[in-house]
A and B are shown apart, each in its own frame.
Chain A
């Protein structure tokens, strides 16, 4: 029996890419994270242009494999992944909807941008659990390149902050 393979459209590619979760933060997709910059389709050949989040982020290798597997599964003949650096990835690309998802997942979403940060900043990040602001930074660096460690004095919980980039 011959399987009917419908033509792949740009929209379909975006739709399936939007189903691929970030391996570190599975509640948001790689599209929502802003990694996928462009998609081109011709005769079921697909080209996906991506940009790295952090330079050394090990998740990039997972992204690439997931993209190839997913697109091959919907019938792509050839999948080419190109990397662009011409616009550096930034957390400013995260939509309010995505920030809400991060918060509900227990990660404080990025606030303002990193340009404004000064030495020994006493900036307060809102706790994703209790929404308290009596919080303090434990470390600028956390379990993945994109996160910092914080502590909430209101509910006495450590939490992670998706830092500005």
Chain B
């Protein structure tokens, strides 16, 4: 029996490694929550496409990506709760927090717009997560590394799919080019917010859990420029940017999204399938 118990304890430890003090625990909690929130909110947006895709294959593609992101969100929520030894379930974190408690980046909460807008958003965001997960998969936090290695495989598919569409639309008709260029101009406003850092990141960098997110941006920009060149699209000269996602300060769209997503749990607390 002892061997069995030892084994169980060993597995429990893998779930939440006690490698750091309380301050670091909170930092890791917030960091995982941010990853989860990004995935959840984008997943919810993509799910809005269900049955509205321009063609059947794209309807399947978009909802499959949504499913991947919901799954990633669930894993990161579970891990966030395990880090601070909280009993909160992924469901509670998703459905019972208010707008100001959400830490997602502003890009993912933006409405879908047309197909070009959704694909541009997906490309800009997946290029970021691909690089982020590549970096996190080397983290000293083995659970975070494992979750990221898995998410990375999925992010690569999402990135390939959306990059191809951006290139196709940019080289398509005048109409498609105009629309995808419009999407780029609009979404560029939210690029800086994706790379925002706070004291949680600083704390995690010092103990080697994450790399400096600042290092990701030049790589991201290089990749994006390459795709945009192939797509014959221009980065807007408008250098305005807005940020605040990391502090829970959002655009008006998040509240509306949560309103719909959380309706059932808010109206019927504790409702189960």
Residues on A facing B (Cβ under 8 Å) = 40, 42-43, 45, 47, 49, 52, 54-58, 80, 82, 84-90, 114, 117, 119-120, 138-143, 145, 149, 163, 165
Contacts and interface: CB of A to CB of B under 8 A. Distances in A.
Contacts of B142: 86
A57 B150 CA distance: 13
A56 B68 contact: yes
B153 A88 contact: yes
Nearest to B227: A119
Contact of A52 (B8, B14, B61, B71): B71
B7 A40 contact: yes
A13 to B, nearest CB: 13
Nearest to B67: A56
A55 B57 CA distance: 21
Interface of A is mostly: loop
Nearest to B152: A88
B122 to A, nearest CB: 13
Contacts of A143: 60
A108 to B, nearest CB: 17
B7 A47 contact: yes
B161 A55 contact: no
A138 B4 CA distance: 49
A142 B60 contact: yes
A47 B57 contact: no
A119 B157 CA distance: 10
Interface in B185-205: none
Interface in B154-198: 154, 156-157, 160-161, 163-164, 167
B111 interface: no
A142 B8 CA distance: 38
Interface string B19-60: 000000000000000000000000000000000000001101
Nearest to B145: A86
A42 B2 CA distance: 9
A121 to B, nearest CB: 8
Interface residues of B, number: 39
Nearest to A45: B4
Interface string B130-162: 000000000000110111011101101100110
A141 B62 CA distance: 9
Which 8 residue pairs are nearest across A and B when measured between Cβ atoms? Answer: A56-B71, A55-B71, A85-B146, A42-B4, A139-B57, A56-B67, A141-B64, A141-B61
Contact of B71 (A42, A45, A57, A89): A57
A155 to B, nearest CB: 20
A149 B147 CA distance: 27
Contacts of A114: 153, 156-157
A140 B11 contact: no
B72 interface: yes
Contacts of B151: 55
A141 B4 contact: no
A117 B4 contact: no
Interface string B63-99: 0111111111011000000000000000000000000
Interface in B98-149: 142-143, 145-147, 149
Contacts of B64: 141-142, 145
B1 interface: yes
A86 B154 CA distance: 16
Contacts of A85: 75, 143, 146-147, 150
Given A56-B70, A139-B57, A143-B60, A165 B153 contact: yes
